[in-house]
Amino acid sequence: MKNENQISYDPLLGDDDPAPYKVLNHDGHTPLLLICDHASNRVPKKLAKLGLDDTQLGYHIGWDIGAAGVTQYISEKLNSPSVLCNYSRLVIDCNRQPGDPTSIPQVSDGIVVPGNQNLSEEQQVQRTEGVFWPYHHAITEVGAHLWRKGKAPALFSIHSFTPELMSRHEDRPWHVAILWKRDPRLAAPMIEILSRKTGLRVGDNVPYSGWEDAYCIDMHGAAPGLPYCAIEIRQDLINTDDGVREWGEILCDALSEIMQDTSIFDVKHY
């Protein structure tokens, strides 16, 4: 029976649009689930690029440059499954609570997004149903598939950040940063291992904070009691194939070292 208060909407994605998410190495056995919320700057055809041009969609406002490549590298090297969002954060940010004004930003880093102005609730629900929930359901299902093989998996969320936030003229001197909240099992050793590398400046909950920008790691890591953290890599370090390979290797080595301690895989709520 249809709820009389149910919001109606037309499907967001057409037959020619790709799926809302991509799964790599679905049957990987390593107890490590990789996710990439901002892997793509794709926009559904129905939304006509949100009124932006390709150059604007190629900026950080559209996606996390280099993050998808690093995710894929680790997924292949460590035999770990990964789930990547297939649409731009400007369509809907899968790392924000639906309904939050930053979930579908009208302005991002000083750039007005014409296609996000004055959206009705039906238009917003169209985006959550078309992209947001399918992506999160995929994370849950792929994680469950991995968990059924034995150990509770660790959750590792991969992002990138700009060297400077243009709208605030804010310099970001870190090469890499780890975002986390209460559970230190993955975050603390990752910070320690990365800090060993000479000349590498490692941030702890900067330029974003795991206490604030943590929808995905809260939902898929903290809530089920899995070890988790998010990593932010400076974009100019991973905007080339060589950079992706270098940082893929760095993180594969660090994750492999951390996972030698099997106690991190115990389900634990903090």
Q: Which ranges of the chain would DSSP assign to H, the alpha helix?
A: 54-57, 67-78, 121-127, 133-147, 187-195, 215-217, 241-258
Are the C-beta atoms of residues 24 and 79 closer than 8 Å to each other?
A: no
| Structural domains of the chain in order of their starting residue, each with its CATH number | 21-261 (3.40.630.40)
To the nearest 10 degrees (0 to 180), the angle between helices 187-195 and 241-258 is 120
Q: Are strands 32-36 and 82-85 parallel, antiparallel or unpaired?
A: parallel
Q: Are strands 228-234 and 154-161 parallel, antiparallel or unpaired?
A: parallel
Q: Which two tokens stand for residue 122?
A: 């039906």
Q: Is the pLDDT of residue 39 over 90?
A: yes
Per-residue pLDDT reduced to its tens digit, 131-190: 999 999 999 999 999 999 999 999 999 999 998 765 566 778 899 999 999 999 999 999
Q: Is the pTM above the cut of 0.85?
A: yes
Per-residue pLDDT reduced to its tens digit, 193-248: 999 988 899 999 998 899 998 999 999 999 999 999 999 999 999 999 999 999 99
Q: What's residue 6's pLDDT?
A: 76
How remote is the C-alpha of 95 from its chain's centroid?
7
Q: What integer best gives the mean pLDDT of the chain?
A: 95
